[in-house]
Amino acid sequence: DLVQMAYLYLNAEVPYPAAKVMDAGLKAGVIEEKSKNYELTGSAWRQAQEVAKAIPMMEKAAAKSEDGELYTRLGNLYLDGDQFQKSIDALEKGLKRGGVKRPDQARVALGMAYFNNDDYSNARKTFRLAAKDKRAKKYANQWLTYIKSEEDRQKALAAEI
């Protein structure tokens, strides 16, 4: 009943009560501790803009999942929370595990995590891989251009010093 109530809240576009219902049910032990329920809770927290509360739920959901999709979603949450190394680890794990619906989007997020972690070399490699998919080509190429301009800017700053 609580899971259904959470889905009703989400369908009504009020994710915060959905997350609260799921969270309370999981803590009380009346909602089964399975990947799907943790995923629902994490998604509700994310939609409610509560990234810090979404992360532990998605960690549990991903750990119980068979494929890599939830790890890529977890990686995106880490990216949103400025936890770049954790984002890299989760996205790589998801891509290695397979079963990712949009590997091009996962690679773009991975490239962004590498970039924000000041690893321009791996960011470039990852964006080049993402650009092989026509759905992500334009966006990945924009990132490649941005990386180049950022490296040029940093070299110019270093030369001034």
Q: Is 119 left (phi over 0), alpha (psi -120 to 50) or beta?
A: beta
The pLDDT > 70 percentage for the chain reads 100
Whether residue 1 has pLDDT greater than 90:
no
pLDDT at 100: 96
The structure tokens listed for 45 are 């927290």
How confident is the model over 36-94, as pLDDT tens digits? 999 999 999 999 999 999 999 999 999 999 899 999 999 999 999 999 999 999 999 99
* Mean pLDDT, all residues of the chain: 96
CA distances to 76, 84, 90, 126, 155 from 81, in Å: 9, 8, 13, 21, 29
> What does the pLDDT read at residue 148?
96
